[in-house]
Chain A
Amino acid sequence: MKKEIVVKEKASNQKEGKRGTKPHGLVPCLLLGVGVLFFLIMLVFPLAEVIYRSLKEGLEVYGAAIMAENTLSALKVTLIATIIAVLVNTFFGLCASWCLTKFDFRGKNILSTLIDIPFSVSPVIAGLAYLMVFGRMGWATPYVEKINEFLGTDIALVFSVPGVVLATIFVTFPFVSRELIPVMQAQGTAEEEAAVMLGAKGSTVFRKVTFPHIKWALLYGIILCAARAFGEFGAVYAVSKARGKTFTLPLEVDALYMAGSAESITQAFAVSSLLVLLSIIILVLKQIVEYRGKREL
């Protein structure tokens, strides 16, 4: 009974929230002004600067920079890393949020704190940590070599594409679970329990009862995860050194910028603008998801 009211209230608020009010009076206008100003200075101007500098030398240079072999290879690696990171983290996010929200157990709080660790770990440390496990002097390297020998493969876990993927997974690890947990918590367990009592199978319960509730949050988490995944620099930088082979777009930008000539700096900004474009696409997707998610509620 109580829950119903809450849900109703929430829905009506959301409608209100969407409509919003026109700001009138001194204080609201002031707040709006300050907010917009801060937004312009901190977010829009850096973005405008990137785009301006990328187009400074004309479209031809821009096109050449985007179509350069190294850029395309970097784009490929970035997409591979992002897709795998999203898959892995979605899978983890679903498992973790299911077990953290649908059950009570000792150490639940600790586990949910632990999951957030990658948020607060410096990317420098993340890269270092992987090198200390899988690097040449890392303790796990002899085992990896043995496995490789056994399988007849030659998979290197650092300074290679799999290394880039691992580092990307690390930094984006909690993104999906973080979006799912609050939603699943709010939803409670009553509906699922009822479904189970009525004899539904576990998979059916998830598909028919849980999933419809969480699908927008899930998508939202995936999008955030992807946005963060292709923008990662610090952790990936530690485990990827070969330009044109294992470089991701942010590393390519850094390499171009560090090449130092006026031309390569323009190219660096051109490649950055590609990243900005990717993020804008993703953010637009996010807006659509949010909008539809809210409408459905």
Chain B
Amino acid sequence: MAKKQKSKRVLPGFGLTMGISVAMFSLLIFIPLASILIYSFRMSFGEFLELITRSNVCQAFATSITCAFIASVINCIFGLILAWVLVRYNFPGKRLMDGMIELPFAIPTSVAGITLSKMYSDQGFFGSLLEKVGIKASYSKVGIVIALVFVGIPFVVRALQPVLEKLPESYEEASEILGASRFYTFRRVILPELTPALLAGFGLALARGIGEYGSVIYISGNSEREGTQMVSYVIMQKLNSGRVDHEGAAAIALVLLLISFLLLFIVNMVQVIAGRRTKR
């Protein structure tokens, strides 16, 4: 191991690039985020616990996590279909479709939120259709999920595409020749290959969704009673209400940060493990 390490250091620039990366990371990302930690420590632990366990805060975390989870699952299903269609089939408008997948990155979240809230309100096109089936979209959890599906879809599709491209079609053909059903082929041959990428996309979409603000505030209705307040909304509420509670906002932000880190970490772990398994 040690020998291997040494041999890799033949290349120049380790110290320099490492130094620059770490310095820039600390300066631009780490120090600002650490300030949140410092700020929330201005509260005593008792106060911190009391704030975090308040019913509206807990509810907001529950809402954020469940809605982001549901949205990510939906994104995984449709993202897989989209990626599959884009990689495997040829059809007119394919390139246009491929190019537009990243649109949610580029459209400001506020514009997305405003547009979606109108489209899915009972006066809007999709909203009135859903209303007939008895689903209230805008100003409910359904609306939140819709907004989060919108912001999360590129993460999943873009994570899957390169892996699918590398997956030779001969796999499926072989499996089919051997008499396996389509579903069996998918479950036993294709899905395992895709799992790490799917998980990565899922994790990123989930993490993004939990913290989402701009696209959600317009469509959610922000009602504590109906449990449609997101964590980011509660943070803004702490800041903008008549108390300008920076400490409280920092404390909730800290918990949100920890949850995102944890998610990111788990996803990376699972990816590493899954990666090892497929290599074998």
Complex: A in contact with B (CB within 8 Å):
yes
Does the CB pair B210–A122 fall under 8 Å?
yes
Is B177's beta carbon under 8 Å from chain A?
Answer: no
Q: Is the CB of B101 closer than 8 A to any CB of chain A? A: yes
Q: A49 CA to B4 CA in the complex, in Å?
A: 57
Q: Which residues of A contact B231 (CB under 8 A)?
A: 122
Bound: A128/B166 CA distance, A:
41
A103 touches B32 (CB 8 A): no
Pick the residue among A122, A233, A283 that contacts B256 (CB under 8 A): A122
CA distance A282 to B99 in the complex (A): 9
A247 within 8 Å of B by Cβ?
no
B192 to chain A, nearest CB (A): 18
User: Which residues 1-57 in A have Cβ within 8 Å of B in the complex?
Assistant: 9-10, 13-14, 16-17, 19-23, 27-28, 31-32, 34-36, 38-39, 41-47, 49-50
Give the Cβ gap from A132 to chain B, nearest Cβ, in Å. Answer: 4
Contact in complex: B32, A129 (CB < 8 Å)? yes
By beta carbon, the residue of chain B nearest A177 is: B21
Taking a contact as CB atoms under 8 Å apart, the answer to whether A39 and B97 are in contact is yes
- Is the CB–CB distance between B84 and A35 below 8 Å? yes
A247 to chain B, nearest CB (A): 12
Known: A35-B85, A46-B150, A130-B32. A119 touches B208 (CB 8 A): yes
Interface core residue of A17, A45, A118, A137 (most chain B CB under 10 Å): A17
With an 8 A cutoff between CB atoms, is A104 at the interface? yes
A205 neighbours in B (Cβ, 8 Å): 11-12
In the complex, chain B residues whose CB is within 8 Å of the CB of A193: 7, 10-11
Interface residue tally of chain A, by bracket?
Answer: 35 or more
- Give the contacting residue for A103; candidates B8, B110, B162; CB below 8 A: B8
| Cβ-defined contact, B108 with A275, below 8 A | yes
Q: B109 — nearest CB in chain A belongs to which residue?
A: A233
Q: Does A133 contact B (CB under 8 A)?
A: yes
Best-buried of A35, A123, A253 by chain B (most CB within 10 Å): A35
Check if B280 is an interface residue, CB within 8 A of chain A. Answer: no
User: Which of A227, A231, A287 has most B Cβ within 10 Å?
Assistant: A231
- Comparing A59-67, A148-156, A166-174, the segment that makes contact with chain B is A166-174
Q: Is the CB of B116 within 8 A of A123?
A: no
Q: With A103-B9, A124-B232, A283-B99 known to touch, is A139 a contact of B35 (CB < 8 Å)? A: yes
Q: Are B36 and A124 in contact (CB under 8 A)?
A: no
B165 within 8 Å of A by Cβ? Answer: yes
**Closest A residue, CB atoms, query B13:** A202
Within 8 A of B (CB), among A253-284: 253-254, 257, 268, 272, 275-276, 278-280, 282-284
- A102 on the B face (CB < 8 A): yes
Q: Can you list 12 A-B contacts with CB-CB less than 8 angstroms, sorted by A residue number?
A: A13-B166, A35-B84, A92-B21, A120-B260, A121-B211, A121-B260, A124-B211, A202-B13, A249-B108, A250-B108, A272-B111, A287-B95
Interface of B toward A, CB cutoff 8 Å? 4-5, 7-14, 16-18, 20-22, 24-25, 28-33, 35-36, 38-39, 78, 81-82, 84-91, 94-95, 97-112, 114-116, 118-119, 125-126, 149-150, 153, 162, 165-169, 182, 204, 207-208, 210-214, 231-232, 235-236, 239, 246, 249-250, 253, 256-257, 260-261, 263-265, 268, 272
